[in-house]
């Protein structure tokens, strides 16, 4: 019992704790952040622990790392229930829920090779509208191609 508790609450000095991740998606969140384990960050993954809100949940902690707005948007896509805690000197200095954006710009490639955002001669920033959150569905603003979570993973080179 005590070791289980320790696993969940052991503190980090500074960095981020991403809590309330839907169970089974912690690895996906790490990959969204481009963290493979080779960067030298101290990373803790807690998977399938009890949560009052979600039943079971995952938690990711990364020491010495902060998150950009783009990264928060990507996390929101795969873990719309996530709560982010920013830690400095062992204290939570900021805590907030991620917000699933209505529009995602420039982060994901459209899977339609003929889409104008994939033309090399006149590169246009990709733009997707979030039409459904769970399960995730994005539609390309330029060609109307629908993308699901698997497409996004491919676009980010995750699979």
Chain residues in the site for Zn ion (CB under 5 A): 110, 112, 115, 140, 142-143, 145
Q: Which is nearer to Zn ion, 41 or 142 (CB)?
A: 142
Do residues 85 and 25 touch, judged by C-beta distance below 8 A?
no
Q: Give the helix/strand (H/E) hosting 3.
A: helix 2-9
Do residues 50 and 121 touch, judged by C-beta distance below 8 A?
no
Q: Which is nearer to Zn ion, 74 or 115 (CB)?
A: 115
DSSP 151: H
Rounded to a whole number of angstroms, the minimum distance from the CB of residue 115 to Zn ion is 3
Q: Which is nearer to Zn ion, 51 or 112 (CB)?
A: 112
Helices (H), the chain: 2-9, 26-32, 69-78, 149-155
User: If we measure between CA atoms, which residue out of 86, 79, 94 comes closest to residue 65?
Assistant: 86
Q: Which is nearer to Zn ion, 44 or 143 (CB)?
A: 143
Helices (H), 16-126: 26-32, 69-78
- Residues contacting 91, CB < 8 A, separation 6+: none
Q: Which is nearer to Zn ion, 145 or 155 (CB)?
A: 145
Residue in this structure with the two tokens 């981020």, named with its chain if needed: 16
Rounded to a whole number of angstroms, the minimum distance from the CB of residue 104 to Zn ion is 12
Rounded to a whole number of angstroms, the minimum distance from the CB of residue 76 to Zn ion is 21
Rounded to a whole number of angstroms, the minimum distance from the CB of residue 157 to Zn ion is 18
Rounded to a whole number of angstroms, the minimum distance from the CB of residue 142 to Zn ion is 5
């Amino acid at each position: 019992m005590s070791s289980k508790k320790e696993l969940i609450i052991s503190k980090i000095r500074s960095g981020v704790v991403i809590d309330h991740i839907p169970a089974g998606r912690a690895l996906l969140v790490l990959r969204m952040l481009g963290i493979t384990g080779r960067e030298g960050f101290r990373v803790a993954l807690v998977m399938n622990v009890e949560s009052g809100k979600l039943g079971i949940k995952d938690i990711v902690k990364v020491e010495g790392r902060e998150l950009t707005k783009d990264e928060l948007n990507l996390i929101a896509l795969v873990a719309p229930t996530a709560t982010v805690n920013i830690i400095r000197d062992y204290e939570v200095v900021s805590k907030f829920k991620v917000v699933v954006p209505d529009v995602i710009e420039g982060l994901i490639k459209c899977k339609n090779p003929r889409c104008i955002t994939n033309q090399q001669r006149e590169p246009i920033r990709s733009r997707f509208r979030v039409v459904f959150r769970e399960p995730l569905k994005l539609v390309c603003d330029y060609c109307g191609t629908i993308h699901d979570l698997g497409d996004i993973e491919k676009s980010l080179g995750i699979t």
